[in-house]
Structure 1
């Protein structure tokens, strides 16, 4: 079965030198600048109104400098403003775990390329969950790093306050190998405190909840943390408003001038974004900073939060709009924890008996990315 993962499968750039990633291939989401390639950002009008890249994004150059081979430019949801992976212009990349289900977005093609075994790993971007959710739906390991730990130069933005370079792989060993190249060697942490956020776990049905809880490593001393007292259920609205103002700031002028054709859902999100009052932005950012501080304080230097990655397994393709938005809302409730706080999050695939996959996530404090990957490798190597 064809993966339909690629916008341009012909792109190939050989490594510049030998390194720790020698022998590995990777694909990149069609929002990364590559010299001589014209990005689509998931929309034909974007493709028609933008020039070919003059440079190659530094993060890609770094991978090439460390032995990896670039092999293909992958599909994305329109302007990265979705978690589904369905694109009315270019189609839906295959989710090989569940071909009748969505792959998750917006890094849909990247997830499909890895899950189908075409490349060893793939770069995506994660703003509201766009690496973590397709990783969960397609049975992959994925990471959203500490915000700003990897520069987003040469990457088309959606909402810079939340945009991160992220990647996914079939094994934690590969995920960590890429991290050893891309991530700064910041904080070396031995995790001693582990927290379950019950409000987050309540978003998942009891059967799936039990499957995930049984995959939490044995021997950890687990405590509970309650974010409801600091507005947990209001966080998605705050996230959505900041994201919307930034998205319109980034793309509003182009949308107004170019009049692109969007899917109904993407059109609605940009309409919402255009209606927001940018004068409220500074106050919204102050609220975000306060929440981020409270979450970081709760974690301390050696704490870790354990939550479901997504609220469910991958939904079926072409689901009714109301059902899609319901799943999206619950999923955003989970993904906005790391989004609001700028913290690193690694998702681990967990297989159900029916072959579908769930995601189990681990969130640590800022700059603990490498330690987080090391922790996950310790308990999930060979998963």
Structure 2
């Protein structure tokens, strides 16, 4: 199969046949080069990443699920470098061609997947979305694409970027194929049609007038389907305020994700990618804390706006696809404007999906941002006759909960190194019942733990190398983190554990913690 639009990763393309007779038999799918495909390197859009990491021996969950359903894998597609891009340009592998507007960018970071579907080189393609990387390419290339609710799909075998915002999604050219893939990946049939439409007037006002006008026929059609519609302000604080919060949180997590690789291998990077990672390493604690609070406000706003059966409609992007090869100074304002309309996905973790339509000879995304009635709901919190709460869900290791705890733990560990006492304090339950046992110190209650932190010098501490990290979550409100590590400068094994509880009014907090070492023979 030829590749006239430069959608696929250069080099040999392995074809993997799907299971015969499945619901997706006869369909071809491509895979963004962030997902593991057994026997092929996971390149992440950066040649040095592939060199530093072993070739996977198992398929990512999403890849295996499509193969099991009968679809045939036809290759891996180009991504923006380590998924840190929104326009679809890659300094290593080039920019895939947007078949809808060849002189314009395809959108990223799932650029190759969108380009392959738009050009008819495959029927389906897998992509990811942290801050817009499914939605923007779908809009620019004129195809269907979805960012599912955060944690809805298993991300096993996916190269992460910012775990508290990362999602996996898929593209298709037609609605029937798009829905069929959704039934397979989500494990359920489509839910009932919405009964109420909300029109985000602040988002439409932010878009270019030509885009807002071009979208009005689709808005009217959605009104007829839903039967009831009203205008609403999506972000009372301001779209740019929500975007600022996402731009404060996502780069910090990206830096935490890629920091070990950067420090150990000093990889080659495009200037814009390196600049973004450096910026993520320098976001001050106060800004991160503010952004975390704004995230909670944004989530609360969308929970209020989007009860079951309601959809929120807004432009996917504020303008059609920009020209290819624009100078660097012209790119950042475009990225900033896109983030103002895409931040609600990563910030609030609600599920947007959008087909696209023509706007002249370019593409402007059709607006559709909704919570599907068929999506898995939060478990009910029922109360027994004595009035106390009953834990009704102890499902282990829900992917979105594991991602949250992983991000919180990495944030805590980095704060230990940097001695950012505010972040350390914010991680623990402010209660006299909180306990932390450590080497040479015991903290009974929040105040004692705080005093030990203030007295502790900054620096990497006793951990020289991680040996094994295990995270166990039960339901959505309880988790443990357990780390085995080598003690710095000594042949001693250390162990660290934390117990996290999600409080209704406080969020996740550590209620007990323990650090110890094991040396010499075991006493039993």
CA distance, structure 2, for counterparts of residue 121 and residue 261 of structure 1: 31
**Deviation readout 1:90-112 (Å, 9 max, x if unpaired):** 11111111111111110111011
The structure with the greater share of residues assigned to helix is 1
Match of 2:298 in 1: 291
Kindly tell me: are residues 252 and 277 of structure 1, through their superposed partners in 2, closer, same or farther at Cα, counting changes over 3 Å?
A: farther
Residue aligning to 1:141? 144
CA shift for structure 1 position 257 = 1.9
Farther-moved stretch of structure 1 (340-349 vs 180-189): 180-189
CA deviation after TM superposition for structure 1 residue 179, in Å: 0.2
The equivalent position to 2:126 in structure 1, one of 101, 123, 127, is 123
Question: CA 1:136 to 1:20, structure 2 compared with 1: closer, same or farther past 3 Å?
Answer: same
Instruction: Give the alignment's Cα RMSD to 1 decimal.
Output: 2.0
Match of 2:265 among 229, 237, 258: 258
Label 1:234 to 1:50 Cα distance change in 2 as closer, same or farther (>3 A): same
Alignment partners' CA distance in 2, 1:174 and 1:187: 13
Matches of 1:132 and 1:225 in 2, distance apart? 22
Change (3 A) 1:178 1:187: closer
Q: Which residue of 2 aligns with 1:15?
A: 18
Over 3 Å counting, the alpha-carbon distance change for 1:233 and 1:323 in structure 2 is same
Which of residues 236, 239, 248 is equivalent to 2:243?
236
CA, structure 1 residues 28+9, in 2 after alignment: closer, same or farther (shift >3 Å)?
Answer: farther
Q: Which residue is 1:210 aligned to?
A: 213
Q: What do residues 239-260 of structure 1 show as CA deviations (whole Å, max 9, x unaligned)? A: 1111111111111121122111
Partner of 2:466 in structure 1? none
Distance verdict in 2 for CA 1:47–1:366, change over 3 Å: same
Any idea what SS the aligned residue of 2:354 has? strand
Task: State which of 4, 7, 13 in structure 2 corresponds to 1:5.
Answer: 7
The residue aligned with 2:497 is none
Please state if 1:174 is matched with 2:181: no
In structure 1, stretches of 5+ residues that fail to align are 371-383
The verdict on how the C-alpha distance between 1:9 and 1:176 changes in structure 2, with shifts beyond 3 A counting, is: farther
Shift of 1:288: 1.3
> Shift of residue 281 of structure 1?
4.9
Partner of 1:196: 199
| Residue 364 of structure 1: aligned partner | 370
Cα distance in 2, alignment partners of residues 163 and 367 from structure 1: 22
Residue deviations 1:32-90, cap 9 Å, x none?
A: 01111111101111121111012111111111111100001000010101001111111
Q: Which residue of 2 aligns with 1:165?
A: 168
Alignment partners' CA distance in 2, 1:159 and 1:366: 24
Question: 2:47 pairs with 41, 44, 68, which one?
Answer: 44
- 1:150 corresponds to: 153
Q: Which has the higher contact order (CA 8 A, sep 6+)?
A: 1
User: Is 1:74 aligned with 2:81?
Assistant: no
Determine the structure 2 residue equivalent to 1:92: 95
Compared CA separation, residues 328 and 189, structure 1 to 2 (3 A): same
- 1:271 offset after TM fit, Å? 0.8
Partner-residue secondary structure (3-state), 1:308? coil
Q: What is the TM-score when the length of structure 1 is the normalising length? A: 0.91
Cα distance in 2 for residues equivalent to 1:285 and 1:229: 17
Q: Equivalent of 2:324, from 302, 313, 317?
A: 317
TM-score of the two chains, using structure 2 as the length reference:
0.68
Matches within 5 A, 1:310-349: 310-349=317-356
Give 3-state SS (helix, strand or coil) of 1:95's partner.
coil
Say how many residue pairs are matched. Answer: 370
Q: Decide which moves more: 98-107 or 8-17.
A: 8-17
Secondary structure (helix, strand or coil) at the match of 1:71 reads strand
User: For the Cα contact (< 8 Å) 2:45–2:93, is it kept in 1?
Assistant: yes
* C-alpha separation in 2, matches of 1:184 and 1:293: 27
Q: Does residue 28 of the first structure (1) align with residue 35 of the second (2)?
A: no
Contact 2:127 2:134 in 1 (8 A): yes
Would you say the 8 A contact 1:28–1:74 is kept in 2?
Answer: yes
Which blocks of at least 5 consecutive residues in structure 2 are unaligned? Answer: 377-524
